[in-house]
Amino acid sequence: MESPSELHRPQFHFTAKENWINDPNGLVWQEGRWHLFFQRNPKSNVWGNMTWGHAVSDDLLHWEQLEDALHPDSLGTMFSGSAVIDRRNSTGLGDDTMLIFYTAAGEFVDPSVKHTQCLAYSSDGGNTLTKFEGNPVIPWMEGANRDPKVVWHPQSDSWIMALYLANDRYCLLRSPDAKNWERFQDITLPGVTECPDFFQLEDEEGDCYWIFWGADGKYLLGTFDGDYFDPITDAIVCEQGKNGYAAQTWSNAPDGRCIQISWMAGGKYPDMPFNQQLSIPVELELVGTGADARLIRRPIKELESLRGSKEKIDSIVVSRGKPCEMDLVGKCFDVSFELEAGDAKVVYLTVRGEWFKIDWESSELSAFSGSATKSSQPNNPTVLLPREQRISFRFIVDTCSIEVFVDGGVASASFCFLADGYEHPFVFNTYEGSQKIENIECYELLSSLAVDE
């Protein structure tokens, strides 16, 4: 639970016990445990000395931080990567061995050493990781090549790696044994850099499509046969808002689920022993069919287990001088509601002093606070809304973050903030015309932290 000395500790978003973290890495499920590796500086609460931290959970909410898993060596510091389970013993390292792929950032130990891609493995369920003695498995190719994301492609009986190269360029590589790799396709994701993800989902007709994802929340939808990824769309914006970055999906997830988590880059946590947080895990689905299919992101169902006291309002109308003021319990809550277009052009919400504006004419939601931005490719603090007459919203509010989900995840956005002064923690208002708000449901969200955190 939150202690008086940790005023800004998120209560259900992952943070390290201390020091800096950024990208989620090595996301994999095995034998009932969700593994979360992450970029960490074990020496300071600012970026540097990149090491892989490690945490595990049985429900994606209650995390136990373990000892750091990968430490810098002569090949470099430990940059981002991914993890898979080798069910077929393709590597010869043993059945169901956990394979870890990461970038060794050579320039941070020796300016003359380039970035290379390396392999580590675990035969004990991720408790201990051993670096492959033949590292690097992929030598430097160009630029700051980094962030390997590996998946198994059963149709071609091979491992496929998505790798960032430079500027907005990526490539795909294949290997039969996860050790020997060949580059077979280059991919451009306009305006996007770093942290690729590559995964498949079925559309509403059951047809399989592949998603090639980049760090700032844009993706390409296409088909993949093991030899060629063929995009059928231009780059599509998925995760919006100013703070969502470097999202990755878990491999080997049970029940066919596709679960994603992001770094909420750029948040401020004054005088805390930790720095930075990750998003809540979200479930991904494709809605629609073919080239018209789109990714949606919605909070994992497990989040509902943290719900406490509830307040419900069926319908209310707000107008100038007549706001709707919700006196919710605590600092953390889950609020959903529906709006229908009327004579109000703009609806304002304040969430623990943080202002949001829903503009019917421009079909945009914007956050007034714009000072915190991502480290690389900052998203716009404006979220594009569906051009519909009736829109549903869900706000997930933690100590220092707000995540917004529109129409069941058709649009979504991550925001970090520091609470300003406020009298009521959640307020609806409009200054011109009137706005009907329906089906307001507010839940207190309880902490997922251990008592001693």
CB 206 within 8 A of CB 186: no
Q: Is 23 a catalytic residue?
A: yes
Contacting residues for 248 by C-beta, under 8 A, at least 6 apart: 23, 24, 25, 27, 82, 149, 195, 197, 260, 261, 262
* Rg, Å, the chain Cα set: 22
Q: Which residues pair with 208 in a beta bridge?
A: 202
Greatest alpha-carbon span in the chain: 71
CB 301 within 8 A of CB 417: no
Backbone angles phi, psi at 256, to 5 degrees: 70, 15
How far is Cα 251 from Cα 162, in angstroms, rounded to an integer? 14
CB 122 within 8 A of CB 35: no
Structure tokens at 127: 């408790």
Beta-strand pair 277-278/259-264: antiparallel
- Residue 200 CB coordination number (10 Å): 14
**Catalytic pick among 23, 147, 203, 398:** 23
How far is Cα 66 from Cα 74, in angstroms, rounded to an integer? 24
Q: What is residue 246's three-state secondary structure? A: strand
Catalytic residues: 23
